């Protein structure tokens, strides 16, 4: 289950803030969702649904209070207990027996002390939603989410406002980032493109640690990636590939100048084999890759029974083809 709340503004977010030259920024993210998750109602709290005619996406929506603390505060506001101030005297009305009587009572105001309360009004921020292709036939949808509040980096309360907006998006989409306030859908789409790092095979333990980055994998994930790592090394790669795309991580290998294999460690249900123009293909979003326009330039192998042998056969075929071109 993804993290629902942030305890502080992540360091990578602050780095992005400093790298944005625009004074004004927004909190937003572009995420891809498969049709099954939408049909199962995973985005219904944002009024995003799918029927036989279209993906139904609102222009903007106020997150439901039930989504979490920050969504609730966004609608209902909240109180701050000012423990930095002296306690104040308040009175509580109580009914007590009258002196000398077994039956009659009277009310008295009993004093007590408590810290002052400060009420913070609701922000009523909305989340803007955009999807450029809402065809009901797609298997995946790229959806842009953006908190409506524009943040001024020079404002004294900027970091506080940033923290609140990040948590509002985190509670509802389970991911967040920052962009210049004038960013387009295409600017968001670029954040799901791959940026590769090339390194020669090294120490197995160090290589696998690099695959996971700062995340803490489960023993099962480590075992799975170790097996994938060993298989990739069996293909005699020239260099290993490590890539990031938003909050996701990829790893693979450069086998020949025009031949690479890689896969996503989070959604490791398939391995990609790219050949002609792989440098360009690997920078495309998964949505573009699955569009069908690049079907002859890459192959996707599902991790089902016998997938290793299938990959080896494809690799051997391409290596033989490359050798014939040299000869």
How many residues are present in the chain?
327
Residue 250 pairs with which residues in a beta bridge? 243, 264
> Scanning the structure block, which residue is given the tokens 């009993």?
110
Residue 58 is predicted with a pLDDT of 94
Give start and end residues of each alpha helix (H) in the chain.
11-19, 35-39, 69-76, 158-173, 185-189, 204-212, 219-233, 278-281, 286-289, 307-326
pLDDT for 1 equals: 43
Per DSSP, the three-state class of 130 is strand
Q: What is the pTM of this model?
A: 0.58
How crowded is residue 73: how many other Cβ atoms within 10 Å of its Cβ? 18
Assess whether pLDDT exceeds 80 at residue 269. Answer: no
27, 165 Cβ separation under 8 angstroms: yes
Cα–Cα dist 122/151, whole Å: 17
Structure tokens at 282: 């690997």
Distance from C-alpha of 295 to C-alpha of 289, rounded to nearest angstrom: 8
- Better pLDDT: 262 or 61: 61
For the cut 60, the answer to whether the pLDDT of residue 315 exceeds it is yes
With a cut of 60, say whether residue 246 has pLDDT above it. Answer: no
Average pLDDT over residues 309-321: 88
Domain extent listing, the chain: 11-77+121-192, 80-119, 195-326
Q: How many CB atoms lie within 10 A of CB 164?
A: 19
pLDDT of residue 245: 59
Closest CA to 298 of 309, 308, 283: 283
- Collapsing DSSP to helix, strand or coil, 116 comes out as coil
């Amino acid at each position: 289950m993804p993290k629902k709340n942030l305890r502080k503004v992540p360091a990578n977010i602050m780095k992005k803030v400093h790298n944005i030259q625009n004074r004004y920024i927004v909190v937003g993210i572009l995420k891809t969702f498969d049709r099954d998750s939408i049909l199962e109602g995973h985005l219904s709290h944002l009024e995003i649904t799918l029927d036989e005619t279209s993906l139904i996406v609102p222009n903007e929506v106020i997150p439901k209070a039930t989504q979490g603390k920050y969504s609730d505060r966004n609608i209902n506001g909240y109180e701050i207990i000012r423990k930095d101030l002296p306690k104040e005297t308040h009175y509580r009305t109580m009914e007590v027996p009258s002196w000398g009587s077994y039956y009659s009572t009277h009310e008295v105001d009993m004093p007590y002390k408590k810290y002052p309360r400060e009420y913070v009004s609701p922000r009523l921020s909305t989340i803007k939603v955009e999807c450029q292709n809402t065809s009901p036939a797609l298997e995946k949808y790229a959806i842009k989410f953006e908190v409506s509040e524009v943040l001024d980096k020079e404002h004294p309360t900027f970091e506080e406002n940033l923290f609140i907006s990040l948590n509002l998006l985190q509670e509802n989409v389970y991911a967040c980032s920052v962009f210049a306030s004038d960013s387009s859908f295409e600017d968001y789409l670029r954040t799901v493109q791959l940026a590769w790092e090339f390194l020669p095979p090294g120490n197995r333990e160090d290589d696998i640690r690099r695959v996971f980055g700062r995340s803490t994998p489960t023993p099962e994930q480590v075992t799975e990636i170790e097996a994938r790592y060993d298989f990739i090394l069996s293909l005699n790669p020239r260099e290993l590939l490590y890539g990031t795309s938003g909050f996701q991580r990829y790893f693979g290998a450069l086998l020949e100048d025009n031949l690479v294999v890689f896969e996503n460690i989070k959604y490791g249900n398939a391995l990609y084999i790219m050949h002609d123009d792989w440098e360009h293909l690997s920078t495309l979003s998964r949505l573009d890759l699955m569009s069908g326009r690049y079907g002859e330039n890459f192959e996707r192998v599902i991790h089902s029974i016998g997938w290793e042998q299938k990959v080896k056969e494809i690799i051997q075929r391409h290596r033989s083809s490359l050798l014939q071109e040299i000869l």
